Structure 1
């Protein structure tokens, strides 16, 4: 059964929307492996900080069916179809990995290039899948995180009240 990893982000009502995303993902896909939650400054625009995390789960659905389900969860929770890339959002669910699949099909890119570009994706992924290797570079996520330039890192682990 394919192993999927999803990057979750929210900066609009982030406590509520992050919790809802976890509940909805579990309802649709079953048991989740969940990283710590990181509070992160927005990238590409000025706005409220984000909660970011990564979850993993197994699914019998195809890569496109998983992506479609994620999109529906976003829409059901206040995301609009015309939302811009660098803007505030209620919920952002990105399929970043689907086994070792390499796919570039319009809006669906697997593995997502954000894995190696953004600490808010790589650090939580390395936390829950340290020994897994990137499908194209074949380097473990722990090693990628170790080598990541942390000079201007603007994120920290947080423990929202609803997780205690």
Structure 2
């Protein structure tokens, strides 16, 4: 009886690991397409693999967090809360573009002077991030880019601006 339980538990573990590997390999093609679009400043390719609403939502949430950290009763907290949505929209338009993500693409080896990483190499840089999402990270590094499956396409839905060292091109 105990052996059956262990075998059943092992089978469930292998199934879950296989699903995670399939998701990572499946996502790798779209992650590759996004990173190529970033490297080549291809706005249409970039937009096809980015969920602007999710990224703007992340920017808005970050602005709200900053506002909440102010002293209670601070008049600027109320102003920041009212302006968070419009500011996130403006910031989203300014920041959610291929040029802003060049540092992240370079980090993953997408530079004009190097051969492009293969799908298996990309899949190995992805790890499950919960809720069916995957994140791009090198070895034990931080999750820089987070991807979520939307229909048949994996799209960028989150990022860590500090980890990715994102900046505007000047």
TM over 0.5, shorter chain: no
Which has more helix, going by share of residues?
Answer: 2
Query: What TM-score, normalized to structure 2?
Result: 0.25
